[in-house]
Structure 1
Amino acid sequence: MSERDPLLHHDPERLAEVDKTTRKVGDERKVGPREIPRGTRYRILAGIWLATFLSALNQTLVPTMLPSISSDFNKSHQASWLGTSYLLATCTFTPLYGRLCNVLGRKRANQTALLFAGVGVLLCGLSSSMEMLILARFFAGIGGGGLFTTSSIIVSDMYSMRSRGLTQGIASIFNGLGLGFGGPLGGLITDWLGWRWAFLIQIPLFFLSFLLTEANLNYVTEGTGKSTKDMLKRIDFLGAGSLMMAVGSVLVFLSVHYNANLPWSHPACIISICSSGVFALTFILVEIFVSVEPVMTPFLLKQRIPVLVGCSNFLVAMCNFAIMYFFPMWFQTVMMTNASTAGLHLLPNSLSMSAGSVFAGWMMHKTGKYKAINLIFGVLPFIGAAAIYRLKEDSGPLQSWLSIIPMGFGNAVVLQTVLIALLVHIPEDQMAIGTGFGQLFRGVGQVGGVAISSAIFQANLQYNLSQRIQGPDAAETILKIRQNARIIGTLPLDLQRIARDSYNLSLHRVFFFAACSTLVAYLVRLPIPDKHLERKAPAPPQPPVLPAAALSVSDTTVVESPFDDNDDGSDSDSDSDEGGTREENILRPKGNISVRRRLSTFENAEDILSDITTHHAHAHAQGAQPHGDARDADGRPPQQ
């Protein structure tokens, strides 16, 4: 045997055995996210987008039901926690789902979020006390934020970078419809059947989403844990817990100081503000020194683009939720409309958000750019917030119904473009972590938008009412007006006028805060650079196999958008244009093939298998035996 002879001879029995082994491996191999058929992909999208619709619906469902809920339980002073408890859970647990998608896999992470959200909504409908309802909202928030994160990650798995903006834009239609229909649907069902049915009616839809993902979301990705112990080690429970306590302590301080009017020197204020500082410091130390896979992802904090995107998400979310939670209240308390009509004023915001998301995605898909549309349309939220700030009682229907449209359209464009800007500036294998990173800042901004704007509103309402209402029973009257907005319609006309004016001035301070937030967000985004989006993402790497095993693996097509897809079960590529069987076409050499001469045996297994595969393909193409240099004395090949 010479140095040019292959180490593995052409032994039919040996090759048959190897072929059998590789075929067995290939048959058991599960497909990747860009290899699944069109029908399966559409069913996956239907399942995850139905869940995100329900999650968005629950974010805006409660504000129009607050008067009815607080009246049933007679605890108006706790009503604000129905919104903040949901958002606290969302901002705390949402970043974990980026890690859970790598640890548990996409399917189990999505269904974990779906389970928490569904159980939380069911408990909301069955609650017998305000405390139980607040806890149920917290459970629903644990899953609600996770549904958004897992949905974004699954879409990013299945589509190329350039097409993600368009696909995420279509996904935002369902998000926008949920946010828009939450208010009017909550008010309508409350007036018709009662507030409990607004929660219970969602349960069949949660079950349908679970069935769709259970049957279709079965593609595999790298990085899943090997055992339960490995999975638990990789989840940053300590970081999530310290973050929850830090944000929760801030919410407690805002509640007791501004809603309950306790002074700074009160023990509740001192303990809550000190606790927030201690837990915030604990969170930072855990993320830097303790956690194996931290929620905050410290290496992203060292990069300029992720930090800018995070700050923008925080400020945009504050603006969005300050408007969505207090815009319907303006119509209920100042214009004296019913709950369903007040909630309907959020519908234009929903439709404009859906249109903005699709527009941004389509533009990025067509041009491969995102900065220009961000700069042009990113100023619209400030225009919309300024128009809302200028609302008056005598404003016509055009201003009262359409002033919110620029804010919804512009913020949708911003959120889509900054998500793509974040993903394009981090490695592909860090995509799930980067998505969770962006959602963390967005979740904290949602909590801040409700909590800070609530503190601004309550402080100004207390001041305005105190300046206008005097007398021995003034304190009791002011407390009733602050805690129950529905009482305004039953007040005497002179006192009703004072209450409406006080609510009007206080709510306009909230709208001014929202306008400032979105203006600062626009300035923060200016340094984010543009980067061309590739039309195709690289296909996932496949392990090298012998040609026989390759026959069992279908060809992979990179999917460009939900409308540009590989055929479902198509066999059109089974024969090439050159004729011949599939086996012959696979083995036919493409151009000149030279077998690399190995000068050292210190090589890995993939290189050796690659050489064997290339050598056999070359041998079949030339009509020679794999060990074709060995001939007898007459120059004829040896007999088999």
Structure 2
Amino acid sequence: MTPPPDSGPPPATTVSPAELRRLFFKVFPAVALAMFGAALDQTIVAAALPAIARSLGDVERISWIIVLYLVANTVAAPVYGRLGDAFGRQRMLLVALAVYATGATLCALAGSLSTLAAARVVQGFGGGGLISLSVALIAEVVPARERGRFQAYIAAVFTTASALGPVLGGVLAEYFGWRSIFLLQLPLSALAAWLAVTRLGDAARGSSRGFSFDWWGLVLFAVFVGPALLALDQARRLSPGPLAVAAVLAVVAGLALWLLLRQERRAPHPLLPLGLLGNPTVWRANLMSSCVAGAFVGTIAFLPIYFVAVRGLSPAESGLALLPLAACAGFGAIFSGTMLSRTGLLMRWPGIGLSISATLLLVVTLGLGHLPLVLMAGLLGVVSMGFGMSFPMVQVTVQVAAGPKLLGSATASVQFTRSLGAATGTALLGAVLFGALTLQGPEATRLFVALVNQGPAGLAGLDAAAEAVFRGQMTTAFRASFATAAALVLFGAWMSTRVPLRRV
């Protein structure tokens, strides 16, 4: 297949380097803060999960604070992509910021885990538009191959946010309470909205003539995503009742998917353009991205619990230990973006980076009970760099394959498949973790819940020998979970070799 022209608009391909730089920096400050808030939210909440579990209880479902956010993210991304194409990306960015800030406020006020989970859905529906709209706005200004030159600035936003997230989340949870991590998002959202109004102007005005929104597609997509992930939550219990519920949910998800595909084939303005998603370059690059996101976000979600429950760290210390994994992805993105601008090669860099990441994840998995904490954190930092090498390459690959007319939908397809992969991966790693504990006996699960909820006091009734056995059981369970993450990354590395579009 001959690749279409660059996905940026014609003016961006004909201006001088100095003018291109001016255009980029006119748009970039307006979208950088929105990107920063969305990236920060993925890691700052993970570092506070143990504190939330102790405050609200129900540790077995604590991962759903992240999963439900990602589910809403997944559902929202194509919505904002389609509406951004029709009504303008600046306008939809303001809507997304308003919804996101409302959700953050509700999270800060939540009095139970169920209420917090519902508020995270609202916040996630706003967050779903922040990254996809921001990336699409940049793509309108900078042509595909030249985006590598500016990748350092884009990656710096994610690197800074991801680096600050674990440390800031741990410190805020320990000294100001976990609610403060959501209150922090309110001034960030307000400042991002002001910048969007003052800096973007009419740069992304869009055309809504003849446009009709695919409401049935949205409903069916939500009915597919929600039950599919809830089925994973039920399946991890490995007992007849929950397994039966999981089977029913899986059937509902399968039926919704079938109806969704029928709806999208006949809708005049489909939520999910099947012609685009069926493009081999698009679906293979997105599948690779979803595997990486599942391993990345899932590992970030459960590592703080490992550090606190198994290693005995405080929330702030846990945030510091998580720092290399959260922060180093940006350096991998900078490297691959730079190599793209020099060589025009797309999928070579994710293939190299993900192969290294999968190998080192296996090393961490095998040495989980023996690796010194500093060495483990360093290895996870290199793993994160490999993950980061795939991030910009997927975005550019899909945008080039889609062409300028479907720029918003193409960018949104990366965001929603990445969010779906992150949500599925987090649910899968949680299912493996608790399933492995369940296989070792109900006492292991009970003690693990008590340890996370109560801290060391949860093991007060155990003698030294029994505690050593239990910590071995926890290590085995976490080892199974991290091995699952390594398998996801290995599959993503293989998928990088199957993407037809290799050069721009």
Please report the TM-score for the alignment, with normalisation by the length of structure 1.
0.71
Q: Tell me the SS of whatever aligns to 1:425.
A: helix
Equivalents in 2 of 1:145, 1:167: separation in Å? 23
Residue 157 of structure 1 deviates from its aligned partner by 0.5
> What residue is the counterpart of 1:496 in the other structure?
467
**Residues 327 and 387 of structure 1: is their aligned pair in 2 closer, same or farther, counting only changes over 3 Å?**
farther
Equivalent runs, 1:289-368 vs 2, <5 Å: 289=266, 291-368=267-344
Q: Are the equivalent residues in 2 in contact too, given 1:82–1:134 (CA < 8 A)?
A: yes
> What residue is the counterpart of 2:126 in the other structure?
143
Task: Give the letter for the 1:172 counterpart.
Answer: A
> What residue is the counterpart of 2:264 in the other structure?
287
Task: Give the letter for the 2:187 counterpart.
Answer: P
Q: Tell me the SS of whatever aligns to 1:162.
A: coil
Task: Give the letter for the 1:527 counterpart.
Answer: R
Residue 397 of structure 1 deviates from its aligned partner by 4.1
Q: Tell me the SS of whatever aligns to 1:161.
A: coil
Corresponding residue to 1:278 among 255, 262, 265: 255
Q: Are the equivalent residues in 2 in contact too, given 1:462–1:482 (CA < 8 A)?
A: no
> What residue is the counterpart of 1:196 in the other structure?
179
Whether 1:430 and 2:400 are equivalent positions in the alignment is: no
Corresponding residue to 1:166 among 140, 146, 149: 149
Whether 1:482 and 2:465 are equivalent positions in the alignment is: no
> What residue is the counterpart of 1:123 in the other structure?
106
Q: Are the equivalent residues in 2 in contact too, given 1:173–1:353 (CA < 8 A)?
A: no
Residue 89 of structure 1 deviates from its aligned partner by 0.3
**Deviation per CA, 1:513-541, whole angstroms, max 9, x where unpaired?**
111111111111113245553xxxxxxxx
**Deviation per CA, 1:110-149, whole angstroms, max 9, x where unpaired?**
1121111111112111223322211111111112121110
Corresponding residue to 2:192 among 209, 212, 225: 209
> What residue is the counterpart of 2:7 in the other structure?
none
**Deviation per CA, 1:9-64, whole angstroms, max 9, x where unpaired?**
xxxxxxxxxxxxxxxxxxxxxx9878889667535312311111111111122233
Residue 73 of structure 1 deviates from its aligned partner by 2.6
Bigger proportion of residues as helix: 2
> What residue is the counterpart of 2:45 in the other structure?
62
> What residue is the counterpart of 2:382 in the other structure?
406
Residue 453 of structure 1 deviates from its aligned partner by 0.9
Equivalent runs, 1:186-265 vs 2, <5 Å: 186-221=169-204, 223-226=206-209, 231=211, 233=212, 235-259=213-237, 262-264=239-241
**Residues 343 and 328 of structure 1: is their aligned pair in 2 closer, same or farther, counting only changes over 3 Å?**
same
Task: Give the letter for the 1:458 counterpart.
Answer: F
Residue 450 of structure 1 deviates from its aligned partner by 0.6
Q: Are the equivalent residues in 2 in contact too, given 1:331–1:342 (CA < 8 A)?
A: yes
**Residues 423 and 125 of structure 1: is their aligned pair in 2 closer, same or farther, counting only changes over 3 Å?**
same
**Residues 268 and 397 of structure 1: is their aligned pair in 2 closer, same or farther, counting only changes over 3 Å?**
closer
Task: Give the letter for the 2:59 counterpart.
Answer: S
Residue 219 of structure 1 deviates from its aligned partner by 3.1
Task: Give the letter for the 1:482 counterpart.
Answer: V
Equivalents in 1 of 2:185, 2:243: separation in Å? 42
Q: Tell me the SS of whatever aligns to 1:527.
A: coil
Equivalents in 1 of 2:326, 2:224: separation in Å? 32
> What residue is the counterpart of 1:392 in the other structure?
368
**Residues 204 and 224 of structure 1: is their aligned pair in 2 closer, same or farther, counting only changes over 3 Å?**
same
**Deviation per CA, 1:492-524, whole angstroms, max 9, x where unpaired?**
334432332111101111111111111111111
**Deviation per CA, 1:202-258, whole angstroms, max 9, x where unpaired?**
2111111110001111234574214xxx55x2x223222212222211222222342
**Residues 169 and 37 of structure 1: is their aligned pair in 2 closer, same or farther, counting only changes over 3 Å?**
closer
Q: Which runs of 5+ in 2 are unaligned?
A: 1-9
Equivalents in 2 of 1:194, 1:297: separation in Å? 43
User: Number of matched residues?
Assistant: 487
**Residues 112 and 262 of structure 1: is their aligned pair in 2 closer, same or farther, counting only changes over 3 Å?**
farther
Residue 322 of structure 1 deviates from its aligned partner by 2.2
Instruction: State the Cα RMSD in Å.
Output: 2.5
Residue 198 of structure 1 deviates from its aligned partner by 1.4
Q: Which runs of 5+ in 1 are unaligned?
A: 1-30, 467-473, 534-640
Tell which has more relative contact order, 1 or 2 (C-alpha 8 A, sep 6+). 2
Equivalents in 2 of 1:462, 1:129: separation in Å? 26
Residue 460 of structure 1 deviates from its aligned partner by 0.3
**Residues 271 and 532 of structure 1: is their aligned pair in 2 closer, same or farther, counting only changes over 3 Å?**
closer
Residue 181 of structure 1 deviates from its aligned partner by 2.5
> What residue is the counterpart of 2:5 in the other structure?
none
**Residues 483 and 526 of structure 1: is their aligned pair in 2 closer, same or farther, counting only changes over 3 Å?**
farther
Q: Tell me the SS of whatever aligns to 2:328.
A: helix
Q: Tell me the SS of whatever aligns to 1:452.
A: helix
> What residue is the counterpart of 2:483 in the other structure?
512
Q: Are the equivalent residues in 1 in contact too, given 2:448–2:474 (CA < 8 A)?
A: no
